[in-house]
Amino acid sequence: MPAAARPILFAVFAATGFSALTLQVVWQRVLSLHAGIDLIAATTVVTAFLAGLGLGSLAGGTLADRLGPRRALLAFALGNAGVGAFAWSSLWLFYDVYRRHAAALDSAAAMFAFHFLLLAVPTILMGLSLPLLARGVVASSREIAPLVGRLYAVNTLGAAAGAAVAGWFLLGTFGFAASVRIAAALNLTAAAAALLLWRGAAAGEPLGAAAVPPAEPAPPAPSGGERAWPWFLLYGLTGAVAIGLEVVYFRVVDAVLRNNSYTFATVLALYLLLFGLGATLGARRAGRTARPDRWFLGLQLAVGTSALFGMLVLLHPPDAFGVAPFVERYFRSGGFMAGSYAVRSAEDAARLLYAHVVAPLLVMGAPVLLMGASFPFVQALVARRLDSLGRRTGTLLCANICGNVAGGAVTGFVLLDRLGTAGTLQLLAGLLLLPGLAAAARLPSAPLRAAGALGATGLMAVGLAAFPANERFWAFFHGVPAERFALAEDRACATGLVDEREETFLYINGSWQNGHPYDAFHILIGLLPALMHPRPERGLAVGLGIGSTAYSMAQDPRLMQVDCVEICGGEKRLIAVLAGRGSRASRRLLGDPRIRLIDGDGRRWLLARPEPYDVIVVDAVRPTTAYAGNLYSVEFYELVASRLAPDGLFVQWIPSDRSLNGVRRVFRYVAVGRVPEYFASSFLVAGHRPLPLHPPTLRERLAAVDLEASFDQKQARRVAEFFAGAPLRRLWERRKVLALPDERFNHDLHPRDEYFLNNGW
């Protein structure tokens, strides 16, 4: 490869990074439609994706060394052509084929196997890329560490751009199918460009030339790099810590941003940008140092200490210039959870800057930059010869990916449950003291070694000792003192109760949900459809929250079973806290044998169980929340309709015209009610048959419910007032809805309300 052609190939590799992240974001989102969004489902998707990348890295390393530089470049081009061709029609496989088999995938092992089967071809081809390209570009052993480091950096920076552009523009503007094809076209273009470069590099040299060049003398080994396998192992272990920290960062920044669909793009793009910049800086130094072992080990210590101290700075904003009061006001507000991106004042601009730049940089800026910087140094330790460059690079990447898988699983399934976010961060950061001590042990004299070990230990001890307990940690993100806050964190969510003067409010990952005593709106969407139904026996509530909807539905004594499916298992523990404080409704909810509280994803629950329900109530999240489109699409309403008994009733909040249009497109009979006290919120009732809206009958059935015993006195009065009138109005004309243009609906593959900035929220 002529040196003049390298910048073009670097640009090509950046473009493949852009495409890869676009595809990963879309594919993971589409798979969630049938796999669910709970931690088990998400982990099987990510693990399957990483498993393919790991196998591809191993295979690519072996292949690269056998093919030699010219043919490795050809294989790189063909691999990208394969990714592009697969991606072009991938949504048929990930959406249509998956839907036919989803109900049979009833275990984590079965889900992983199926996800791996779906993702194996494209992810293995993606994993081939860096070993093949490194073999095709590097011309001498002296270039290995800096050049492979720069390749890794440009690919990561391209991925950062892909995460940002896809998350903030492509997915919301064009939908998932078009975004995938844009990414596929980019892969095909990159393949064509690489083929042109391959032809230029191959000019004058027969294709049958020896694949493996004559063995060159190895350069002097850097000190500490005599054996490669300990560095492979160590890079796998640090990869486990790195992905564990990434899980923590996503949870914390999600709480800062209050969880909307742009949060994921913001965090991922910033993470990859920092990582890529770090790899760029590390590559500049790695080729000029004789001791990459000290650099690599010392950088791991710096990752751990900066992870602690960066978070401490976030948790203790200075009083100067009004920073601390501003931060407190921000966390007492709703953040950006309801699409509040309008900038009308300097305070609004400051909120936008703080939430999307300042706070994420404090949390993960330095540690992620240092993670990226460490790669070129470990590359210098394991790869020093051209004839083994592919294998060493592929094995190094595979070791790191295996560590990622293990670290993500242990953090998600064990550490967050046992230690919470604060304890998990402390443990992960504390583990990185070990490579710091190893770096100190490699210093040239005994006094330096002792001073280095003492300094590393003291710095880490200060950070660990200053860190708050988990409940106080999360109280900060809710803008209240720990004395007014109760926490129930698990692998899925950080769920909290905030005590105000007369009410207690539920928060999930920092986002306000609803309160106790129950409000009239949530009581009515549970109680009304049960009373409307002539003979209700089985009910389903998708979403538990503070318990109001499922509890209210169960107040109709005719219901024999009420299933309540909720992703955030900690909500049950907080309802028990309320029961312990004397809440009669919470105590009765937990003690009612008819109510089954089920941990899981509500859409997947419906998909996997064909038994019909008489009443289905979706107490859904805000439509601007990440993954909310799974519960507001036309296709979801079709799934609900298929799980309703012939005279069954479906109830949901109406957050937008698109959600109402979707229900009216699927159901022939729809009626709407409004509850003035709850932000003048409206809800709908839908069914296959004419709706039983006879007010005297409803009031007669309501008389069988002891409102005063079941609810707070004020809310019991408001419920009675609601039923005293004609509570619903009919919307039965489907022809007008069916004639609406497609942009007036939400779809599984284009959830417009969720991407509100692109679709006129």
Task: Dig out the tokens for 630 from the structure.
Answer: 């799974």
Tokens of 362: 């404090």
- Per-10-residue mean pLDDT, the chain, length 761: 75 94 92 85 82 90 86 91 95 92 84 88 92 82 80 92 94 96 96 86 42 46 64 93 92 87 87 93 85 94 97 92 89 74 86 92 95 92 81 89 91 91 97 95 92 95 96 94 94 92 90 90 94 96 95 95 94 96 94 95 91 93 89 96 96 94 94 83 93 88 90 88 82 80 95 91 59
Longest dimension (CA), the chain: 95
List of E strands, 619-702? 644-653, 669-675, 681-687
- Pairing type for strands 511-516 and 504-508 reads antiparallel
DSSP tag of 220: P
- 422 in Cβ contact with 469 (< 8 Å): yes
What is the Cα–Cα distance from 610 to 103, expressed in whole angstroms? 9
DSSP secondary structure letters along 651-672: EEE--SHHHHHHHHHH-SEEEE
* Integer Cα distance of 570 and 574 in angstroms: 7
Cβ–Cβ < 8 Å for 749, 177: yes
- Quote the pLDDT of residue 2: 61
Q: List the end-to-end C-alpha distance of the chain, in Å, as a whole number.
A: 50
- Provide the phi-psi class of 322: left if phi over 0, else alpha when psi is between -120 and 50, else beta: left
Distance CA 635, CA 671 (A): 20
| Cβ-contact 374, 296 below 8 angstroms | yes
| 416-431 and 229-257 helices, crossing angle to 10° | 130
The confidence score (pLDDT) of residue 214 equals 46
Residue 280 to residue 282: CA distance in whole angstroms: 5
Tell me if residue 179 falls in helix, strand or coil. helix
> What interhelical angle do 433-441 and 416-431 show, nearest 10?
20
Query: What is the Cα–Cα distance from 242 to 237, expressed in whole angstroms?
Result: 9
pLDDT for the residue 534 = 94
pTM surpassing 0.75?
Answer: yes
**Amino acid 198: pLDDT:** 82
pLDDT score recorded for residue 761: 59
For 238, phi and psi rounded to 5 degrees?
A: -70, -30
SS3 556: coil
pLDDT of residue 139: 76
CA 309 to chain centre: 25
Contact present, 597 and 561 (Cβ < 8 Å): no
Pair 87, 180: CB distance under 8 Å: yes
